Structure 1
Amino acid sequence: MIESFQSQAIIKQNHIFPFGADTAYKQLSDKSYLFRIAQELDISHPYTIFCQGKDIDPNFSSIAAHIPLPAVLKPALSRIHTSHGWLKTSVRYAQTADDFMRIAATTPFDSHSFLIQERIHGPGVGIFLLCNQGQTEAFFAHRRIREKPPSGGVSVVCESIDPPHEALDAAKRLFQRVGWTGVGMVEFKVDKRDNRPKLMEVNARFWGSLQLAISAGVDFPYLLYKMALGKDCSGPASYRTGLRSRWELGDLDHLLIRLKNRSSLLSLPEDAPAKSKVFFNFCTDFFRSSIQNEVFKWSDPKPFFFELKQYVRDLRK
């Protein structure tokens, strides 16, 4: 087994990097390529228009016929290499046609590939996999409760759940399609209109809420290590559900963003709670037994205080 694994992994100077080829990584990370694969595999996803640079209808008519406002403008790559270094991109929301044309005329939309998608309203679900040459060895799923930014982004509070069958099947088929070796996450939103999970993006790497999977019983780092050694790396058939994980300082950011800004400026989901509810949940979650801190541990508090020091430094800047 180790020989077949090493044929897919990257081996340099007698070290094994237990991830697949660079080509497969780029295919999963490039959203233009990813959503074309989704169309090929008949995986449910938002209605999507593929764009390159300035090829936008100045009258917005052809787009509005398919995608209602608010529309989502999503760069194909989360980081783009330019002559001035690496450019970090972000998803933008157009509330009006004027918003749309203004955003489309700014960097990186004016010169790089991006997608225009309908906005999906519903809870976020993450499917997490360990694969060997496209075959799933272990899986896990969580539901997003709060995110940073509040409109949708990094999960700051999430809960372990049984994976929705359609989402798990779609994630497996995506990784099988590119022959992925290693860990990765596939993000969905469960569309309130039809209760079906719609593909959002793929991150072919470890994820921020990894500790929740480990606490629930799926130790992905250890399983990846076993796979690199050619040992049995099959994950458990089940894991603990209903367990919640909280990134403390990320959740604080979520709270501050909500309190400091008008809701109309944050492109919030339709069911976003009121500011008073956000503040109440933030405070009471400190006392919920089902919630585990992601960083702070009484047995090892130093990582939290290191992160807190950086957080305060950034606030001062």
Structure 2
Amino acid sequence: MDNLTNQQHKILVLDANQRSALASVRALGDLPQLTIYTADSTSQSLAGSSRYSARYLQCPSSETDPQAFLAWLTKAQASDQFSLVLPVTEITSQLILLHHEQLPDVDLPFAPLDTVMQLADKSNLLALAKKLGFATPSSQRYDSTATLDISSLTYPLVLKPCQSTLYRDGAWVKTSVKVVKSEDELRAHLARADYLKNSAFMIQAFIPGHGAGVFCLYHQSEPILFFAHTRLREKPPEGGVSVLSESAKVNPALKILTEQLMSAVNWHGVAMVEFRIAPDGTAYLMEVNTRFWGSLQLSIDAGANFPKHLVCLALNLPCEAITPYRTGQRLRWLLGDVDSLYLFLKSNRKLSSKISRLLSFFNPFSPKTKHEINRWNDLKPAIFEFKIYLKQLLGLD
């Protein structure tokens, strides 16, 4: 790769309807050496609406039409000669890594597929964690539902597919982790989750407590950047996607565990390492997401600019020095927060809780809170998102 820092580079940010794609485009927008292209399967997109996207390309869906997507990417790379391609979803990144031989000119700032699957495959991760001496939930692996003896199980339990996405016969299947509280609930879930009939999964003990994560960037096995945040509100309210979050200090003990894990696989790229903290303080390793995360914009606002450091390192570009990021910085995904409020108010919670939640939603904006999509210097993504939201609300989509 050319070491000249004044060379102009074209990069392609894929999965442009993802909030993490928009955060990446905005984070990279002030680098004068870059021309940013964006792409997704819709005629318009969230990140493609940004003023930092020089050109938007509509492409086949990597999820529903993967072979057509690969053919499109081959032609796009030959035509535009991208210095770097940046997918932000697990499906797109794994698809490209799976077919790297037919995409020899496509450069990704990620580890090879074998390394990725050491962490992304939860049974491989569990074996590695045990080898490293990490605390892990009691688990039993099954190759299919045919080998599962339901009568021997105790509840609650966690049914965890070994992979969050499965690539079978040229198509993708999304899986889900399920906390199961009874045999009837388990049977109902197994009947719905048809993919479990012929794919590996684990039955794990349920660990009470709370979740904690460490976000990291590595470059050729070297740790570059770490970040942590606290989820303040989620959609759905009982646990899900973060709609209001706050930057926090990285827990030193969790950072040590993360470094041990990433060093063991010679990691390269970004990742989110998830732990479950039990009431006694034990940190159980749960899973690793080998991609950018939904609340990426929060780390950027706080001063931990993962996309910029990732791209600068990959392209040998000068980048600002890494300094301690700000804690207490908040990020709000407004329309996600609206959905979360609606779900909270329609639940069977106490009236006092609903009033408190309503008041917190309409609290005066804190100077430490920024809106994820709504930015005065880049308004078009917010307008695009609102139009899509309104169409879905009115059933016009």
TM range (shorter): 0.7 to 0.9
Contact map agreement 1:123 1:190 (CA 8 A) in 2: yes
Cα distance change of structure 1 residues 315 and 50 upon mapping to structure 2, 3 Å threshold: farther
Cα distance change of structure 1 residues 262 and 30 upon mapping to structure 2, 3 Å threshold: farther
* 2:135 is the alignment partner of 1:56: no
Contact map agreement 2:247 2:329 (CA 8 A) in 1: yes
1:275 pairs, out of 347, 350, 354, with: 354
Cα distance change of structure 1 residues 275 and 195 upon mapping to structure 2, 3 Å threshold: farther
* Deviation of the 1:105 alpha carbon: 4.0
Q: How many Å separate the matches in 1 of 2:283 and 2:318?
A: 31
* 2:289 is the alignment partner of 1:210: no
Corresponding residue number in structure 1 for 2:369: 291
Compare relative contact order (CA 8 Å, sep 6+) and give the higher one, 1 or 2.
Answer: 1
Q: Which structure 2 residues correspond to residues 120-269 of structure 1 after superposition, within 5 A?
A: 120-191=207-278, 193-230=279-316, 236-262=322-348
* Deviation of the 1:185 alpha carbon: 1.2
- Name structure 1 gaps, 5 residues minimum: 264-272
Query: Which moved further from structure 2: 229-238 or 21-30?
Result: 229-238
Contact map agreement 2:217 2:269 (CA 8 A) in 1: yes
Q: How many Å separate the matches in 2 of 1:229 and 1:87?
A: 33
Contact map agreement 2:214 2:274 (CA 8 A) in 1: yes
- Name structure 2 gaps, 5 residues minimum: 4-83, 85-96
* Deviation of the 1:303 alpha carbon: 0.7
Q: How many Å separate the matches in 2 of 1:95 and 1:274?
A: 25
* 2:134 is the alignment partner of 1:43: yes
Aligned amino acid, residue 57 of structure 1:
D
Cα distance change of structure 1 residues 97 and 43 upon mapping to structure 2, 3 Å threshold: same
Count of residue correspondences: 296
* Deviation of the 1:142 alpha carbon: 1.0
> What whole-Å deviation, never above 9, does each CA across 1:94-148 have from its counterpart, x for those lacking one?
1222212332344233332222223334343221111022221111111122223
* 2:195 is the alignment partner of 1:116: no
Corresponding residue number in structure 1 for 2:164: 78
Contact map agreement 1:218 1:235 (CA 8 A) in 2: no
* Deviation of the 1:274 alpha carbon: 3.6
* Deviation of the 1:231 alpha carbon: 5.7
* 2:123 is the alignment partner of 1:32: yes
> What whole-Å deviation, never above 9, does each CA across 1:210-236 have from its counterpart, x for those lacking one?
111111111111111221134677963
Residue 72 of structure 1: SS of its match in structure 2? Answer: strand
TM-score, with normalisation over the residues of structure 2? Answer: 0.67
Residue 183 of structure 1: SS of its match in structure 2? Answer: strand
Cα distance change of structure 1 residues 236 and 14 upon mapping to structure 2, 3 Å threshold: same
Contact map agreement 2:150 2:183 (CA 8 A) in 1: no
Cα distance change of structure 1 residues 290 and 119 upon mapping to structure 2, 3 Å threshold: farther
TM-score, with normalisation over the residues of structure 1? Answer: 0.82
Aligned amino acid, residue 28 of structure 1:
L
* Deviation of the 1:157 alpha carbon: 1.6
> What whole-Å deviation, never above 9, does each CA across 1:17-54 have from its counterpart, x for those lacking one?
21111111222211121122122212233332222212
* 2:94 is the alignment partner of 1:94: no
Give the % identical residues: 38
Contact map agreement 1:124 1:144 (CA 8 A) in 2: no
Cα distance change of structure 1 residues 210 and 262 upon mapping to structure 2, 3 Å threshold: same
Contact map agreement 1:247 1:295 (CA 8 A) in 2: yes
* Deviation of the 1:262 alpha carbon: 4.1
Residue 140 of structure 2: SS of its match in structure 1? Answer: strand
Aligned amino acid, residue 146 of structure 1:
R
Aligned amino acid, residue 258 of structure 1:
F
Q: How many Å separate the matches in 2 of 1:287 and 1:234?
A: 30
Q: How many Å separate the matches in 1 of 2:115 and 2:170?
A: 27
| Bigger Cα Rg | 2
> What whole-Å deviation, never above 9, does each CA across 1:159-193 have from its counterpart, x for those lacking one?
111111121112222222222211111122322x1
Residue 17 of structure 1: SS of its match in structure 2? Answer: coil
Q: How many Å separate the matches in 1 of 2:321 and 2:288?
A: 21
Cα distance change of structure 1 residues 295 and 123 upon mapping to structure 2, 3 Å threshold: farther
Q: What root-mean-square deviation, in Å, do the aligned CA atoms of Structure 1 and Structure 2 show? A: 2.9
Q: How many Å separate the matches in 1 of 2:360 and 2:139?
A: 35
